């Protein structure tokens, strides 16, 4: 019999999440059966901590639920011939060390995944965050060669891919991040301009200096005040992909404007929110494109790896505080 460990939401977050909002539970797993839903036993190897977990918990979870999230898991026992023991899959089973499954809710990693490539990248650059960058740029920003793309939270999981894909697409890229180390990283991976939004005199001035002609595309991961300032520096007919609003996720009281209508009208902007699952039917296309660029070295990846399942809440809180460069993951 296997005892799984799982992190549950003990108390709904009030403002910034605290470690005391989580509880570590033990769950006895059923033995495998030939029929039914208990055909596979899996152990999580890498778990993802993502910003969406903060607003999602508020909307869709109740206290006592296991924290949502995805993992790379290894098949430990199998009564399903489609999955061999030792194979790695992607699961969507939340913050737990072990789980059982019939296999229907699991996704295999692309069959051409190179042995030398860390499988944890399937939670990052060659996974959901990479796909967010890919479809957000292509389908919402509709970037074209020669255009200027602005991205914030630029050194993170999504932002770092946005900048590199925009460079591959022939654009000029400006990125903003919250530390000088992150700015140095952005320059290293090919951003044309990068600045620390926490230390510039004014954001308006820094955005203007980085691209005096303004921006054709704005990939917004942050929302709030940053977006209110950036919108005024869009070029006419600019496109804004509203990907995330991390500056607002921990607010107990909603922030107030300025409001977007006036610049939207006079600059004739397009602004569209999106969720990456809109393109689930094109997932394979996106993953193959990202995998190819990573293998060719055209897209560089960085991961912030926290060791130990017991440190999941700390890793999640650290990511929300901006401690990560690239994708924040936990190695069990």
The binding site for ligand NDP (CB under 6 A) comprises: 50-52, 129, 132, 153, 155-159, 177-179, 182, 221-222, 243-247, 274-276, 319-320, 322, 324, 328
Cβ atoms of 91 and 270 within 8 Å: the answer is no
* Contacts made by residues 142-146, CB under 8 angstroms, sequence distance 24+: 142/217, 142/239, 143/169, 143/171, 143/216, 143/217, 144/169, 144/170, 144/171, 144/216, 145/169, 145/170, 145/171, 146/170, 146/171
Question: What are the tokens at 306?
Answer: 């926290």
Question: What are the tokens at 328?
Answer: 């924040």
CB of 249 to ligand NDP, least distance (A): 7
CB closer to ligand NDP, 99 vs 249: 249
CB of 115 to ligand NDP, least distance (A): 26
CB closer to ligand NDP, 214 vs 244: 244
CB closer to ligand NDP, 185 vs 293: 185
CB of 152 to ligand NDP, least distance (A): 7
CB of 250 to ligand NDP, least distance (A): 8
- Rg of the chain taking only CA atoms, in angstroms: 21
Question: What are the tokens at 10?
Answer: 């003990």
In angstroms, the CA 204 to CA 24 distance is: 44
Hey, how many other C-beta atoms are within 10 angstroms of the C-beta on 290?
25
CB closer to ligand NDP, 49 vs 106: 49
Residue 132 CA to chain centroid, in angstroms?
8
CB of 274 to ligand NDP, least distance (A): 6
């Amino acid at each position: 019999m296997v005892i799984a460990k799982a992190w549950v939401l003990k108390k709904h977050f009030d403002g910034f999440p605290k470690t005391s909002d989580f509880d570590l539970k033990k769950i006895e797993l059923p033995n495998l059966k030939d029929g039914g839903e208990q055909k596979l036993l899996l152990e999580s190897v890498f778990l993802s901590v993502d910003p969406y977990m903060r607003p999602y918990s508020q909307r869709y979870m109740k206290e006592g639920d296991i924290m949502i999230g995805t993992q790379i898991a290894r098949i430990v026992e199998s009564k399903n011939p489609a999955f061999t023991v030792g194979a790695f899959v992607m699961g969507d089973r939340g913050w737990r060390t072990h789980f059982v499954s019939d296999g229907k809710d699991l996704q295999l990693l692309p069959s051409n995944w190179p042995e030398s490539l860390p499988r944890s990248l399937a939670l990052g650059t060659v996974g959901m965050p990479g796909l967010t960058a890919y479809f957000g740029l292509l389908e919402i920003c509709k970037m074209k060669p020669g255009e200027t793309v602005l991205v914030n939270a630029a050194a993170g999981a999504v932002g770092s891919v946005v900048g590199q894909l925009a460079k591959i697409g022939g654009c000029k890229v400006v990125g903003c991040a919250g530390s000088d180390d992150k700015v140095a990283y952005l320059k290293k991976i090919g951003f044309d301009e990068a600045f620390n939004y926490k230390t510039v005199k004014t954001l308006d001035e820094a955005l203007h200096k980085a691209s005096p002609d303004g921006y054709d595309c704005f990939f917004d991961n942050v929302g709030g005040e940053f977006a209110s300032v950036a919108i005024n520096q869009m070029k006419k007919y600019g496109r804004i992909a509203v990907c995330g609003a991390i500056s607002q996720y921990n607010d107990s009281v909603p922030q107030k404007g300025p409001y977007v209508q006036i610049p939207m009208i006079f600059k004739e902007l397009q602004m569209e929110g999106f969720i990456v699952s809109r393109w689930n039917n094109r997932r394979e296309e996106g993953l193959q494109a990202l995998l190819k660029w990573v293998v060719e070295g055209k897209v560089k990846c960085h991961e912030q790896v926290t060791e130990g399942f017991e440190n999941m809440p700390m890793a999640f809180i650290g990511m929300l505080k901006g401690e990560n460069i690239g994708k924040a993951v936990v190695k069990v």
